[in-house]
Chain A
Amino acid sequence: MALRIPLRAWTVVSALVLAAAWLTLTWGGFVRDLFLPPPDQLWDAFNDLATDGYKNRTLWEHLQISLWRIFAGFVTGALAGTFLGLAMGYWRGVAALASPFVEFLRPLPQLAYLMLLIIWFGIGETSKIILLFLAALPVSAVAARDGVRNVPAQRIHAARTLGATEWQVFRHVVLPSALPEIFTGARIGVGVVYGTLIAAEIIAGSSGIGWMILDAGRFLRSDYVFVGIILIGLMGVALNGALVALETRLVHWAGR
């Protein structure tokens, strides 16, 4: 408890130093607004985007579209990945079948197969969501698989000795034990999906906050780029917070 106040003070200090540097560099005329826009320009840019929108869509529409893509890609990818991972952890055969593909897909940069997705699935929402799905799936699969594998053998044996059926073992022993790792996987997955968003919105954009940042960057509109980055960053923090909240509700026993 004694450490809490000084730690917070450090956070405040680092924020203040950053803000002071920003103000001095921009308002002091040391750096052109092209490289780093001053705070008043950012505020104007934000107001401008909030009232007039960006290229035929309001800012909220861009945010909504991006959130929907993240949601659709993450939920489908995490669910499919978790089911696959559970199966991989539970049955060695499934692991042998699926492992090479999951391990291959996991480190693969999404931009590498972007072109293929466009050719296969077109330029609409499908290819974008599939891209995000493919980003989320291997992360969740690996987390779920490891979660199952790390269940202490004694627990399973104990349950079997007490006469539990295979399904009961899975439902009441394996799944709850693996759940904390599944959630950790989900949080990493959100991060990966989030990071892939801009790649997804390269595909025939004209909508989404990622596309907005890309398009504004093309014209060196640093003010819009900064506003976009701040929004996308805050959105990421909020998403992670929501997942943590869900986790503490659903797996309140984790770590006990």
Chain B
Amino acid sequence: MTLFDTSASRRTLLKASLGVAATGVLTAPRIARAAGPDKINIAYFVGTSPTMIAKGDGWIEELTKAKVNWIEVGSGAEINTAVAAGSVDVGIGIGSAPTAAGLSQGIGYEVVSILDNIGPAEELTVRTSANIKTVADLKGKKVGTPFGSTSHFRLLGLLKTNGLTQKDVTVLDLRPDALVAAWQRGDIDGAYVWAPAKSKILAAGGEVFRTYDKLEAAGYVIADLIVARTAFTQAYPDAVVAILKAGNKALDVWTKTPDKAAELIGKQAGVTAAVAKEDLLQYDFVSPERQLQPDWLGAPGKGGKFAEVLQGTAKFLVEQKSIRSVPELAVFQKGINTAPLVKSLA
């Protein structure tokens, strides 16, 4: 059904997949009509992230002069599916694990920016009364995490780097809200998840079991990203630049006036300013300038380390049988497009 839709953007996708030049005749009138899109479909997560200020204050609508259709999602997988179907143009906050899966499977999108380096913001929490002091103590315990997420990736990495398998530790697939419920009933002794579920679990007899630093050193870096449908970026490069500009401006509010930002973000995410600030402090929001360094996304055409992180994540997903095969590094390098980010700084 989606394959035969006539909208300009989907047509471009179809053209790409068919490799038929003749369809260009059909697309020409729509693309030539306007410089900017009439409507942008943006998928986002409700959470404590500076981009929420840009959403709340309508900066993207203002800068792109387009109608924005905000689509709330609960997982990166939903963004992947929606982009594949052509229903989402830009995905804000998609995790590196689903992005690695998406790029490996040839979903037509590119990473255009890093929102944050997740670091300690997603972490293992264990029940204090279960007396879990070492990773080996997890044996025979039940640990929940949302499957397919960056947290899931980290948890499995934790087991793997410590020589444990899922025969030793029962890993259960639970959405964040269900995790909190299962935790409160005492059904699980561990959870690998992000805020606000993490904060609720910590408040209900949990404690942080620090894993992130060792896992990062072992290559299990996780990040939240902004992805844009390749056909959309090609058709409307300025719109993508404008969206990134709005994001930069929002990040500025957080770095310069954290208390004001926390209040605005808290209002959007439905938490108090204090909770929002506490959550925000856990993330490392990578500035656009840092993103363009070789350590992260790298300058346009130069490439950065992050392509390797994505490939490493994809390799792991293949071991998990989540995706079929890992493409070569060039695919991930091509899947990162920092040209709009450079323009957003101008």
Contact = CB atoms under 8 A, between A and B. Distances in A.
7 contacts: A29-B19, A30-B18, A31-B17, A215-B173, A218-B322, A221-B322, A221-B323
Nearest to B184: A119
B84 A34 contact: yes
A55 B144 CA distance: 15
B188 interface: yes
Given A31-B17, A32-B17, A52-B321, A218 B181 contact: no
Interface stretch (B101-109, B128-136, B200-208, B301-309): B101-109
Interface in A28-71: 29-32, 34-35, 52, 54-56
Contacts of A115: 177-178, 181
A124 interface: yes
A219 B17 contact: no
Q: For the complex, would chain A's binding face be called helix, strand, loop or mixed by DSSP majority?
A: loop
Interface of A: 29-32, 34-35, 52, 54-56, 115, 118-119, 122-124, 203-206, 211, 215, 217-221, 223
Nearest to A31: B3
A218 B19 CA distance: 27
B178 A203 contact: yes
A204 B84 CA distance: 27
Given A31-B17, A206-B172, A218-B148, A123 B188 contact: yes
Interface string B162-186: 0000110011111001100110110
B148 A215 contact: yes
A206 B178 contact: no
Given A215-B148, A219-B317, 5 more contacts: A32-B106, A34-B105, A55-B166, A119-B185, A206-B147
B323 A123 contact: no
A17 B11 CA distance: 26
B239 interface: no
B187 interface: yes
Interface stretch (B53-61, B73-81, B276-284): B73-81
B322 A219 contact: yes
A122 to B, nearest CB: 5
Given A34-B105, A220-B105, A123 B178 contact: yes
Nearest to A57: B166
A118 B181 contact: yes
Interface string B92-110: 0000001001100111000
A127 B139 CA distance: 25
B69 interface: no
Contacts of A223: 324
Contacts of B172: 123, 204-206
B320 interface: yes
Contact of B187 (A56, A122, A211, A215): A122
B214 to A, nearest CB: 24
Contacts of B147: 205-206, 215, 218
Given A218-B148, A220-B81, A220-B84, A119 B18 contact: no
Give the 7 A-B CB pairs with smallest separation, nearest first. Answer: A218-B77, A218-B148, A219-B322, A204-B172, A205-B173, A123-B182, A122-B187
Contacts of A29: 18-19
A173 to B, nearest CB: 48
B107 A220 contact: yes
A52 B177 CA distance: 32
B101 A219 contact: yes
Contact of B144 (A34, A204, A215, A217): A204
Nearest to B185: A122
A123 B17 CA distance: 42
A212 to B, nearest CB: 11
Contacts of A55: 166, 320-321
Nearest to A219: B322
A220 B187 contact: no
A81 B130 CA distance: 41
Contacts of A52: 321
Contacts of B107: 34, 220
Nearest to B188: A123
A97 B148 CA distance: 46
